[in-house]
Structure 1
Amino acid sequence: MSSNDTEWLEFAKNLAIKAGDMITEARTNSSFVRDYKMDHELVTSTDIAVDQFICGRIREHYPKHFILSEESSPHMDLSTIADDVPVWVIDPIDGTVNFAHGHHHVAVSIGLYVGRERILGVVNAPFLGECFWALKGSGAFCNGKPLAVSGAKQLRNALVATGFPYQKTALLPIIDRVSRILHHCQDIRRNGSAALDLCWVAAGRLDAYFESVKPWDMAAGVLIAEEAGATVGHYLSATSAWPEVVNGEGLIVSTPDLFKELLVLMHCEK
């Protein structure tokens, strides 16, 4: 851990909390507009406003850093960035559908990596009053209290979370995979925010999580889960150009004792 890392973490925490205030104010005042990108994925004016706020502050304080953001730079070519340059990975609102429909499972997600290492992650859930964070090698926390995974050892008694894509043409293999897991675990939850699902694994509220997600959905939450003792891996081979450090394809995160059994079930294709 360097002094830079600590400074970046405090900066990210402050950003995430201020962004959370923007989100709660927008809902309280009903001051947001719904729109759709790619004809089917919901985005609101608050997503855009929060993204502009976060990215603007990062550029102001760290002009030499790069920013991968869901809303403003989702197609950035990360392969051209030198290994010693910090890259911020931003999801201004993870759980936009939840936000627009008045649900509480909504989060600001801010991650930072350098080269092949995740450095920090901050996930702020403003409607739940919880801010999760982690710094590589320093543990994971929620509102200042240390986090640890549940320690679940038997899948039959495990609570597992997942999610579904906006693109419905990819549902059949996903539903088959969910069915296989559901037949072997206690139950499945679909909460609508990958970042928070990862934090809930870290907090011991969930025992495992699996889904194919984008870098901004997982960059912060995966580090928080890792630092709380979770095992992280993939059940699908990488097909995208995203570097491993932010590759969310076929992401699986669980307590150490559940990981292998879950991975075997993922691969039991019909």
Structure 2
Amino acid sequence: MDELEFARELACQAGDLLLEHYQVFGIKAGLKADRSVVTEADLAADRLIIQTIQESFPEDTILSEELHPGALTEGELHQRAVWIVDPLDGTTNFSLGLHIWGTLITRLVAGYPELTAMYFPLLGELYSSRRNQGAWMNGTQLHVQSPETGHPLPFFACCSRTFRQYSVSVPYKTRILGSSAYTFNLVARGMAIVGFEATPKIWDIAGSWLLVEEAGGSIETLGAGNPFPVQPAVDYAMTNYPTIAAATPQLASRTRLQIVPIREKSESNR
């Protein structure tokens, strides 16, 4: 089976498994070391994805948020490919009964995203992309919004931590969605003109990084190293990549000046 079709099918299978746990009374949830939420559903979906990848691509390496986090070795990076998995992006939304959550599966070749599938079951949205072949949602090709010809009320999508850690002065309406991938996917769809996530890990952004680029947009980190190519000995479970996605590089550069770390701003005012 083609790797992209495999990723699409597996993302949908994991999404269907998550639906079995959705709004089930008594589902157990806890906090990880970084204070993010993890549920039984995350772990069940992660096991399904990891087992299926290992059976179909035994020579490949897996970096997964729940069961295979941490650092990659030099030897693992020299294998054929690396799969980066977030079984449930938007866990807090999921645990609260909100609809924006999904499964993210991305395959890296030579350290860079080569293909991705991201499935949001309750929204009925399957995003996918392959390098140099465009970005798609449910069979429709995606394009970013032109600042000149886009929606007359463009909006800024971000996370709740943005306003605790940054002073924000973007000239757009703001929407907080609760899913890092969905924030950036809306930029790729041409719905949001700018997206920002303050503390995403590599599994939160790998698929959307490719999707935004293939939709014609710009995506980059803010004050952090570039996540790609992936490197050995980096503890990815402990590494955040504050990330901006925008319709154009010029808009991304302008937005960088409008999202300032609070400590940096307070020091500049002394």
Q: TM-score normalized by structure 1? A: 0.85
**Aligned counterpart in structure 2 of residue 159 of structure 1, from 155, 158, 165:** 155
Counterpart of 1:111 in structure 2 is: 106
**Aligned counterpart in structure 1 of residue 13 of structure 2, from 12, 18, 23:** 18
Whole-angstrom distance in 1 between the partners of 2:96 and 2:125: 20
Post-superposition shift, 1:84? Answer: 5.4
Do 2:83 and 2:107's aligned partners in 1 also have CA atoms closer than 8 Å? yes
Counterpart of 1:262 in structure 2 is: 255
- Alpha carbons of structure 1 residues 41 and 267: separation in structure 2 relative to 1, 3 Å: closer
Q: Do structure 1's residue 235 and structure 2's residue 222 form an aligned pair?
A: yes
**Aligned counterpart in structure 2 of residue 195 of structure 1, from 167, 172, 181:** 181
Counterpart of 2:208 in structure 1 is: 221
**Unmatched segments (≥5 aa) in structure 2:** 231-235, 266-270
Whole-angstrom distance in 2 between the partners of 1:79 and 1:147: 35
* Number of equivalences: 253
- Alpha carbons of structure 1 residues 18 and 31: separation in structure 2 relative to 1, 3 Å: farther
**Aligned counterpart in structure 1 of residue 47 of structure 2, from 43, 52, 66:** 52
Post-superposition shift, 1:180? Answer: 2.4
Once structures 1 and 2 are overlaid, which stretch shifts more, 49-58 or 210-219? 210-219
Once structures 1 and 2 are overlaid, which stretch shifts more, 75-84 or 140-149? 75-84
Post-superposition shift, 1:57? Answer: 0.1
Post-superposition shift, 1:229? Answer: 0.8
Corresponding residue SS for 2:122: coil
Corresponding residue SS for 2:206: helix
Identity of aligned residues (%): 30
Do 1:15 and 1:54's aligned partners in 2 also have CA atoms closer than 8 Å? yes
Counterpart of 2:166 in structure 1 is: 175
Counterpart of 1:204 in structure 2 is: 190
- Alpha carbons of structure 1 residues 267 and 29: separation in structure 2 relative to 1, 3 Å: closer
Whole-angstrom distance in 2 between the partners of 1:140 and 1:35: 35
Whole-angstrom distance in 1 between the partners of 2:72 and 2:208: 22
Do 2:23 and 2:95's aligned partners in 1 also have CA atoms closer than 8 Å? no
Post-superposition shift, 1:259? Answer: 1.7
- Alpha carbons of structure 1 residues 259 and 154: separation in structure 2 relative to 1, 3 Å: farther
Post-superposition shift, 1:150? Answer: 1.2
**Unmatched segments (≥5 aa) in structure 1:** 1-5
Post-superposition shift, 1:31? Answer: 6.7
Whole-angstrom distance in 2 between the partners of 1:217 and 1:129: 20
Do 2:112 and 2:228's aligned partners in 1 also have CA atoms closer than 8 Å? no
Whole-angstrom distance in 2 between the partners of 1:57 and 1:133: 19
**Aligned counterpart in structure 2 of residue 35 of structure 1, from 13, 30, 34:** 30
Higher-helix-fraction structure? 1
Counterpart of 1:62 in structure 2 is: 57
- The CA RMSD over aligned residues, in Å, is 2.6
- Alpha carbons of structure 1 residues 148 and 31: separation in structure 2 relative to 1, 3 Å: farther
Q: TM-score normalized by structure 2? A: 0.85
Match of 1:23, as an amino acid? L
Whole-angstrom distance in 1 between the partners of 2:255 and 2:185: 19
